[in-house]
Amino acid sequence: MKDYRFSNNTAKRRYELDLEDGQIAMIEYYLAPGGEVALTHTEVPYDHAGQGVGSQIAFKALTDIREQGSKVIPQCGFVASYIRRHPEWQELVAVRERTY
């Protein structure tokens, strides 16, 4: 799988992967009152579905959140499922959100 350019677009409050055809994959977020990062929605262009793009952006977004020293609130079903499948991320989930 290709390693796409990742960025945190703070103006639009979303993590982005720039795909080679000019499209972007994204995870939208907001900062919760406790300082956690709430990941609310993941979107991958249809042409790139099933190619691991969603997993790549989830991994990179969670890595960025960890490096910031923040916790995550996985409101997006895709991100919540990704964390369940990859238990190494569970310690990043805000304690009040842990249901797994």
99, part of any domain = no
pLDDT digits (tens, 9 = 90+) for 39-97: 999 999 999 999 999 999 999 999 999 999 999 999 999 999 999 999 999 999 998 65
Handedness of CA 71, 19, 11, 77 (dihedral sign): negative
Distances in Å between the alpha carbon of 82 and those of 32, 33, 42, 85? 21, 24, 11, 5
Residue 11 maps to a domain:
yes
Looking at the domain assignment, is residue 39 inside a domain? yes
Could you report the per-residue pLDDT of 8-42, keeping only the tens digit for each? 999 999 999 999 899 999 999 999 999 999 999 99
CATH of the domain at 62: 3.40.630.30
Q: Count of domains in the chain?
A: 1
* Residue 100 domain flag: no
CB 16 within 8 A of CB 7: yes
Helix axis angle, 77-85 to 53-68, nearest 10°: 80
Does some domain include residue 36?
Answer: yes
pTM for the structure as a whole? 0.92
For residue 84, what are the domain limits?
5-94
